[in-house]
Structure 1
Amino acid sequence: MLDIAIVGGGLCGLALARELQRQGRDYRLFEARPRLGGRILTRLAGSGLPLDLGAGWFWPDSHPRLVRLIAELGLTSFPQHDQGRVVGLEEADGKLQDLGDAPVHNGALRLAGGMGALVEALAARLAPERLQLGWVLWAVEDRGAHVELHFRSGGEPAVVAARRVVLAMPPRLVHQQLRLEPPLDASVHRALAETPTWMAAEAKVLVSFPRPFWRAAGLSGNGFARHEQAVLGELFDACDAEGYRAALGGFAALSAQQRETFRLGLPMLIQSQLVQFFGVEAEPGEQYFHDWATEPYTCSALDLEPSHREPEYGHPLLGLAHWGGKLLFGGTETARQGGGYLEGALEAAARLQGQLAQAPVSPVNGEALARFGAWVGARRAAALAEYQRNLQRRLSLQQRAQLTQRALLETVEQVYRDSLRQLEELTLETAAVVEGRSDLTPAVLAPFLGFNDALLEEALRFNRSSCALSNFPSEHEVDPEYRHTIRRDLAAAWREFALAANTHLVGRAGLALASAAVAGHA
């Protein structure tokens, strides 16, 4: 029987596979596509220039995991070209505007050889027999001591038994395409459905040219079209590090439905807009277009529905182990930091490494912890309303000092007290205690990850929109020092709760051992 099945050959799955191979673990990586990389997709232009039609940039200051991985693999990076004037167009038949020469990409770097070089370097370090391409998962069943995965491969059904499975794929695809038996808690399915797939409904075009003629004209290659008829909303320079092999890139402004309607005419419309922005030298370019909305292993039906909300990633329920530790979720959308980016995929892989290093919990404990995680998820969802009530009560009592700080602290302390009571009511089997920590402590604390920071940001957004707080400038717009003070108090409350939860679990284990000893002497 296979020890670990990884489903999804994007960056998260590849990084996890690399670590498991280093450890000598028994794993297989299954990918539905005939290629690895997921939303990393690099194509070579006729000139040999690598063109990133998927992920293309990273930011060293905020993506440290990716920076380390690139160095470990011996790859090199170079700055995104941002020098020169930026141009824009507000009306379809209007005059091109000069938007100045300020950099657009905030210090972004690109990878020499394209992001595909990252995929190739990781894949080269994996045993080929552990990689299964063209395997489409459609069902996962809990069989008690193991899970059973049902695939289609080459048109034929295939069944794989594994002790654990990691679904390193977009959460919405899990929700839409997979049958999980038995079904997970409804709150987990909601979390899967409500987590948007990053860039799933977007399209990207790269157009190669013999030379970067726009640079000679003093243009950076950056451009923005804000009118309703725009085909490309954002343009950028996509040349290699030296600028010898030239290309311009752009992101589609048209919706997925519009792109399908104008599919046959898109090349001409793209060419027309490039000429409008950069002149007639942009006319003979060689186009490479990729529409991610047409990718069934990236884009779900929910991702095609219009949304005006900022995507939120790292839902705590998606960071938990389910089915007694046998079912885990991965992918960038499950990351608390860097969600949506390559950095998020690596953070998710690091979390999974830690979870797979732990022994699976018993079915009894798995079920109890799943209920506890669902309860915490509901409690977290109600926390902002509780903060608002606490704030309003303090205002009604004519309190004027440290309103946000006290209302937030009161809120999280109440959540943690209620959580300890909920934990005490759980029916849990005895777990090992190592160096004073229960094996169950990480699973108990996992649903709270990011809670303090998320609630703080929600509360500050509410404060900025609150008329009642407009007479309290320091609460209406919280300055960095006050924010730091609040975060410090919330962190102290979290530490106290985490210690109390572990103490309770350790005490349970000690009580069970004492009871067993008494029974042995009876």
Structure 2
Amino acid sequence: MTQVIIIGGGFSGIAAAKKLHETNIPFLVLEARERLGGRVYTKQISEDLYLDLGGQWIGPSQDRMYALCEELGLDYFETYDQGYNILDFKEQVKKFKGLIPSLDIFSLINLDFVLKKLERMAKTIPQDSPWLHPKAVEFDRVSLAAFVTSQCKTKSCQKVVSLALETVFAAELNEVSLLHALFYFKSGRDLNTLININNGAQLHRIVGGMQTLVEKMAQPFLQQIKFNHPVSSIRKEDGVFTVQCEGFSYKAKKIIMAVPPVLAGKINFYPLLSAAKRQVLDRIAMGQVGKCFMVYQKPFWREAGFSGQAFADEYSPFQSMFDASPKEAYFGIILAFTIGNRAKTFFEKDKEKRQAIMLEKLTKYFGSSAETPLFYEDFSMSDEAWSRGCYAGIYPTGAWTGFQDAYAKTENDIYWAGTEASKVWFGYIEGAVRAGETAADNVLLDLK
């Protein structure tokens, strides 16, 4: 028997394991996959070429991520953000500089009003307890889509706000409670931070890919990680947990849950989790996003004065695109996000057709230089059995006020981690690390 079993080898589980290892507490990590990282997944193509198929960015105020990079000797670099961006509305392509696209003056005024109103509202949300806001019930019964529709007076304004927020949440806006959205903005500093590259959440990337960091974190205790060990049940009798995997069982005094809510809800618990915990696990849905990469010999768009960023309305399968080239630009990579309903429709097509669609868009944006890529790759966490979606769990209307902090609460020596258990940078890797460390701290306190 060990002291602690950590379920999940993503950033949150490994952050918890790292803290337990440093305090000499015996533990095991049970990971369903054959790799570390969870919703972070770096595909290594060659020595100088890698694709971050999962989470990939860090930014200002994500202090734990930067501290880990420094501690483990990993370099990071700025996301390319120079030159013209592209706006693709009604299949008409325009170029613009800065964060705000070229719209008619009334739409621009309306856009500024809506974004600033969301910022003001988010500032008033109690970050540790959003359900205590005086208007929490009012905000929680309204979807983010309904709010955007009510505030946007022009189609152009509504399209820009919607595609920006869909990219932030990786979900259709009718799936997101307004209260959850406001909490999410506050959790990640503010909305401006979440949508920006410059001084924003997309500022830096890890040299070698994000998965490199979690692998470095786990290096000292790799022998305590069991891969290909999906957990089917957790039973507690006489103060001891028995964790059942296919063909294996392990015993411990404490459990740290560090898997996505949708997967935690599939595990059989005895005794049962509380009614509030079970119900909130049923209500939290995962975001849906596909990441599509077109890889070139070099980032030719930079020489032509483009940033590689593009934003499109519903006539395109891609809400947004970014330059995802490696630090030294040995290759040029355009990354496109397809989100929510657009992702569902896009991934119904075969891969050859998906490549052709993206290639057509890039040729339209950047000209004939885009016609000859080295290769295309895409990936959706929704299709991975041990993620079921990305970036994070989404609280629908009524969930925050109905269940409050039920998800993150410790119950019966089971401690809850994962980015969804964090009140700081909820939905981001920073939040996952913080939640894992907090769970480990709480275990240590209780063991003492």
Instruction: Provide TM-score, normalisation by structure 1.
Output: 0.62
Q: CA deviation at 1:44?
A: 2.6
Aligned residue in 1 for 2:356: 268
Aligned residue in 1 for 2:39: 39
Say if 2:409 is the partner of 1:320.
yes
Aligned residue in 2 for 1:449: none
Contact 2:289–2:389 (Cα < 8 Å) also in 1: no
- Residues 138-157 of structure 1 aligned to structure 2 (within 5 Å): 138-152=232-246, 157=247
Aligned residue in 2 for 1:52: 52
Q: CA deviation at 1:129?
A: 2.1
Aligned residue in 1 for 2:260: 170
Contact 1:13–1:29 (Cα < 8 Å) also in 2: yes
Say if 2:384 is the partner of 1:295.
yes
- Residues 116-265 of structure 1 aligned to structure 2 (within 5 Å): 116-126=211-221, 128-152=222-246, 157-175=247-265, 177-197=266-286, 200-226=287-313, 228-253=314-339, 255-264=342-351, 265=353
Say if 2:374 is the partner of 1:282.
no
Output the amino acid matched with 2:207.
A
**Pick aligned residue for 2:426 from 309, 314, 339:** 339
Residues 390-425 of structure 1: per-residue CA shift (max 9 Å, x gap): xxxxxxxxxxxxxxxxxxxxxxxxxxxxxxxxxxxx
Q: CA deviation at 1:284?
A: 2.3
Point out 4+ residue stretches in structure 1 off by more than 6 angstroms. 306-314
CA distance in 2: counterparts of 1:317 and 1:223, whole angstroms:
39
Contact 2:380–2:389 (Cα < 8 Å) also in 1: no
Q: CA deviation at 1:343?
A: 0.8
Output the amino acid matched with 1:97.
K
Residues 311-357 of structure 1: per-residue CA shift (max 9 Å, x gap): 9799522332211xx21111011101111101101110121122111
Contact 2:9–2:31 (Cα < 8 Å) also in 1: yes
Q: CA deviation at 1:193?
A: 2.5
- Residues 268-417 of structure 1 aligned to structure 2 (within 5 Å): 268-285=356-373, 286-299=375-388, 316-323=405-412, 326-359=413-446
Structure 1 unaligned regions, length at least 5:
361-438, 440-522
Q: CA deviation at 1:281?
A: 1.7
Output the amino acid matched with 1:51.
L
Change (3 A) 1:63 1:133: same
Residues 445-479 of structure 1: per-residue CA shift (max 9 Å, x gap): xxxxxxxxxxxxxxxxxxxxxxxxxxxxxxxxxxx
Note the aligned Cα RMSD (angstroms). 2.6
Output the amino acid matched with 1:215.
R
CA distance in 1: counterparts of 2:41 and 2:399, whole angstroms:
22
Contact 1:6–1:28 (Cα < 8 Å) also in 2: yes
Computing the radius of gyration over CA atoms, which structure comes out larger, 1 or 2?
1
Contact 2:317–2:342 (Cα < 8 Å) also in 1: no
Output the amino acid matched with 1:112.
V
Instruction: Provide TM-score, normalisation by structure 2.
Output: 0.72
Q: Across the two proteins, how many residue pairs are aligned to each other?
A: 345
Aligned residue in 2 for 1:63: 62
CA distance in 1: counterparts of 2:361 and 2:397, whole angstroms:
29
Q: CA deviation at 1:359?
A: 2.7
Residues 224-274 of structure 1: per-residue CA shift (max 9 Å, x gap): 111x23122101111122333321111014544313421342121121112
Aligned residue in 1 for 2:121: none
Output the amino acid matched with 1:113.
G
Change (3 A) 1:45 1:276: farther
Q: CA deviation at 1:184?
A: 1.5
Residues 95-118 of structure 1: per-residue CA shift (max 9 Å, x gap): x11122449513311111110220
Contact 2:243–2:251 (Cα < 8 Å) also in 1: yes
CA distance in 2: counterparts of 1:292 and 1:268, whole angstroms:
22
SS at match of 1:14: helix
CA distance in 1: counterparts of 2:50 and 2:376, whole angstroms:
13
Question: Whose relative contact order is higher, 1 or 2, with alpha carbons under 8 Å and at least 6 apart?
Answer: 2
SS at match of 1:105: coil
Output the amino acid matched with 2:372.
P
Residues 35-76 of structure 1: per-residue CA shift (max 9 Å, x gap): 11011111234573222111111112x211111111111111
Q: CA deviation at 1:123?
A: 2.3
Structure 2 unaligned regions, length at least 5:
101-195
